[in-house]
Amino acid sequence: MAADLKGKVQTVLGPIGPTQLGRTLTHEHLMIDASPLGANVPCPPFLPNMNSLPFTMENLGFIRQFPWSYKPNLTLYGEEKHVIEELKFFKQHGGSSMVECTIVGLERDMNMMKRMAEESGVNIVSGTGYYVDSALPSEVHSATQEQLVSTMVHDITQGAAGTDIRCGVIGEIGTSWPVTATEKKVLQATAAAQTQLGCPVIIHPGRNKQAPAEVIRILAEAGGDISRTVMSHLDRTICDHDDLSAFAKLGCYLELDLFGIEVSYYQLGDFDMPSDAQRIKMIKHVLDEGYEDRVVIAHDLYTKHRLMHYGGHGYSHILLNVVPMMLARGISQDQLGRTLTHEHLWIDASPLGASVPSFPPNMDTLPFTMENLGFIRQFPYSHTDNLTLHGEEQHVAEELKFFKQHGGSSVVECTTVGIKNNIGMLKTMAEKTGVNIVAGAGYYVDSSLPPEVHSATQEQLVSTMVHDITQGAAGTDIRCGVIGEIGTSWPVTATEKKVLQATAAAQTQLGCPVIIHPGRNKQAPAEVIRILAEAGGDISRTVMSHLDRSIYDKGELSEFAKLGSYMEWDLFGIEVSYYQQVTDLDMPSDAQRIQMVKHVLDNGYEDRVVIAHDIHTKHRLMHYGGHGYSHILLNVVPMMLARGISQDQTIIMNGNNTDIDLQDYLYGNPYDHLYAYDDILDYLYPSGQEENGLDAASNQPASLPFRVALGAVYILIIVVCGVGNFVFLAIVGRYKKARTKTNLLIANLALSDFVVAILCIPFSLDYYVINDRDWRYGREVCTLVNYVKMVSLHVSTNALVVIGIDRYITIVRHRWRRLGKTSAILVSLGVWIASFLIAIPSAKFSMVQSGFHRNNAFCGVVWNAKHLAVYRGYYGGMLAFQFVLPVVVMAVCSLPVVWKVFHRELPGNLTEAMREKVQRSKRKTLRLILILALFVLCWAPYYVYAALRDFHHVLTLSALNTNIFYAVEAAAMGNSVINTCVYVAFNTNVTNFLRLLLKECHGLQERRGSDIQEMLPSDDEDDEDDDFTLLSSYVGDINKTCIKLDLLGK
């Protein structure tokens, strides 16, 4: 180490002693541009224009859920003023130092860091080094290891980025998984630089639980000091306690540095992001195993939405919110001091104990703004204005419309006596939004009830609830439809017991469902069930709410499930670990809720589970930066399917609340045997049975042989159909003689085939074969490809029918009026217009949907489940009118032609030329029969498959589904190559024109009109005998066009 750094910590303002560090966050970013790293992260399918949204509170819920999709969120440049304000706030609340880990590849600015340190008074230690391979400039890839060492040493001993401002740590050194050659070179250079300087190293591991150990191995082999190495991001890499213990034995520092990220869905990997409570449990585990001086924590704040100014937790979240939780969960003051004060990273010193500053201030003095939203989310019950939805009717109505737009249908609104229900407002909302709203009758917890409820008899309570459901509630004729939520405390009070007994009596009279709010104790749900059962209530039609804040243990859940009630997890969207109403209880994350749901489903209680949001505060509305009423539909359902809950098991009760003063409950879509509503949610997910493309019916990857076979067919289509149809169109356009009526009709097929081969098939090749159903081109291109294929399908089919009928009239019905060229052009125009119109649904319902299991994006046509009848009618019609009817028409038209060719009477004095013509006609007719047979053989498997999938669900969940699809797709698509060959390559007239065209293009010979005439058949030959060949090619070509059905949203 340089002499002036020995025993010191180098900050951007100069060296300080390790004991001057104080409370230190070891992994933060104060300026960063991570936008190149998010360039390929798609927008959510329900919000394809997300990047055009303004950064406002109304959009914050989307940004928090999909932070990497919103490109303006991925840089802190331009936020210097806000960052300095938050650094001052950090220092004001006990913070002292930060390690700033922005390095080469993330746009470091040393001068800006120095200004921030000077203005805020926070010690800032800057990092040197290189980020992940994909972010590095070319000169790093080409540099030698010695050059990299020299640069890092210079940054720490002399100054970085052309300044005299010195770094004080190496890192965060970025690695991917697996480690690339350049990253390995950087790691080896890091070890060499550390050996010279003796400073700490901070590592960014790849997103795989094997990655941290692999990096440690490479560093150790290169001579690095593992005891002074910090392994970052363990809270998104190694969550299992045993695995964490095993890794701790390697001797490095263990850094959990994503505190404040409490959204379960992790966009960058197939991984459930832990909550702060889970992080604390991980820390306590390794502390209890003796690694007290090996744990460091931070936020790794690198996006706008996590700044306090934009509604996030900010740099002070650990000090203000996490530290009290750590102390409350059994981490000692001494252990906390070691975790927050890190002078032992630089020297061997005793840890500094630390007291925790008190917080929050008087919350009610804070305005409801984005800047204060982080505080309100953490302490929602301390902000009085947050505790009512009255006055928010407009925003709630807008969100209900959004809920309906994205597949929602019904909600059960459980605001009852005690929390200021307004049934008239509920009716108005239902009328405005089109959402079915079921209002609840009954009484909330004892402390919220008016005196007349306490003094009422049980019979009076029964009478009121029955009247509310049978006549009308609150002096109106608007009737409730469910009893609940019935509120209880712990222990249950005398009034609450009276209400429960009245509830049981009312349920006996009405036979309706009952929804219960249990006290905040794990014994409360079973106690309420006992009281209801003793009073004669129907437990099988009772919903026990809020299990996600009452019963966590899986064994206890299984025991409670045996009581027979519905089990409701209804706090989805609340992903803040700290639960203000019961401070010794950790609020589970959405991922943990899904695990609990899956546990009871796997134990056979598939018809006993319902889920909801329980929105009862402003901050959870989308307008105020929350997740809103559509969170389950848009975000939770895909996670459930990706985590092994089957499509059949996602029969859910989806809800929240619209009218409430303290709590809300808008539950919806109950089971049909609980209440007479829809009993399935099949919403916008690639493995949906009714709504999605054939290609997306299974989330399993296709086997390599099937992908190769389909790829070969696609390449043949691009080459044969692209070139062949282009030649045909060029001939028709170049030579007036080639513009016969028949060729004009064929041109419709050639043009539609050519456009598909050139515009659509390359994207299909990439989607199905190269990337195994991972769409890379956005919703607009997906929509274009689907629409063009659909238009081509209708053009081809309708043109084939016209050609078949015309050939029948020409050969069999000579006296009937035939189409002329003008008529053929008009009919073709009508075919195209009709096709454009019929194909509109394929554009309207096209979307790109993220596949959360394999992190793929699926391109398909997605119909809403509530339109199932329309969907089946539409595609049933497609099957009938685009396959069955055309085959029948072509068969009816071709059989008389075959009969005439093989059985017509011929004069006995035929010349040799005439005999050859007759034999040629017979060969052409046999070719027609062959093409028809191949059409049936190629396409019948596809339509059998599609019918089974869409109308009987035999294949929907089959593991073989993907391979079956690839097989039938390859067979069906292969038929289109045959068609092109028949009406281009094997057509004598076309080949004659082609020879002429090639000679003209090469300038080999001047052609005169007589020369052209010699090469061409007579008009009669073109329009009569060759009609047999052309008809056969056209009939066969219908199979090609039907190829588009795989993307029609089957």
3-state secondary structure of 650: coil
Q: At what angle do helices 722-734 and 741-755 cross, to 10 degrees?
A: 140
Helix (H) or strand (E) holding 631: helix 631-631
3-state secondary structure of 747: helix
CA distance 879 to 1033: 21
- 613 in a known ligand binding site: no
CA distance 618 to 664: 10
| C-beta pairs of 826-832 under 8 Å, 24+ apart in sequence | 827/745, 827/802, 828/744, 828/745, 828/747, 828/748, 828/799, 831/748, 831/794, 831/795, 831/798, 831/799, 831/802, 832/748, 832/791, 832/795
Q: Which of 556, 498, 559 is nearest to 531 (CA)?
A: 498
CA distance 475 to 322: 49
Spatial CB neighbours of 138, under 8 Å, sequence gap ≥ 6: none
Full DSSP string of 7-46: T-EEETTEEE-GGG--BEEEEE-SS-B-GGGGTTPPPPTT
Full DSSP string of 1007-1049: --HHHHHHHSPPHHIIIIIHHHHHHHHHHHHHHHHGGGGGGS-
Q: Which residues pair with 99 in a beta bridge?
A: 125
Neighbours of 943 (CB within 10 A): 16
Spatial CB neighbours of 737, under 8 Å, sequence gap ≥ 6: 1012, 1016
Spatial CB neighbours of 840, under 8 Å, sequence gap ≥ 6: none
- 454 in a known ligand binding site: no
CA distance 762 to 714: 8
- 299 in a known ligand binding site: no
CA distance 429 to 403: 13
Q: What is the DSSP letter of 238?
A: -
CA distance 704 to 514: 53
Q: Which of 768, 784, 785 is nearest to 856 (CA)?
A: 768
The 3 state secondary structure assigned to 417-446 is ECCCCCHHHHHHHHHHHCCEEEEEECECCH
**For residue 485, is the peptide bond before it cis, meaning its omega torsion is within 30 degrees of 0?**
yes
- 172 in a known ligand binding site: yes
**Residue 311 identity (one-letter amino acid):** G
CA distance 513 to 482: 6
**For residue 491, is the peptide bond before it cis, meaning its omega torsion is within 30 degrees of 0?**
yes
Q: What is the DSSP letter of 322?
A: I
- 383 in a known ligand binding site: no
Q: Give exposure, 765-794, as e/b (b: 16+ Cβ within 10 Å).
A: bebbbeebbbbbbebebbbbbbbbbbbbbb
Helix (H) or strand (E) holding 133: none
Rg of the Cα atoms in the chain: 36
- 183 in a known ligand binding site: no
End-to-end Cα spacing for the chain: 67
3-state secondary structure of 958: coil
Neighbours of 10 (CB within 10 A): 23
Helix (H) or strand (E) holding 744: helix 741-755
- Asked if residues 617 and 574 have their Cβ atoms less than 8 Å apart, the reply is no
Binding-site residues for a divalent metal cation sit at 27, 29, 172, 204, 233, 300
Binding-site residues sit at 27, 29, 172, 204, 233, 300
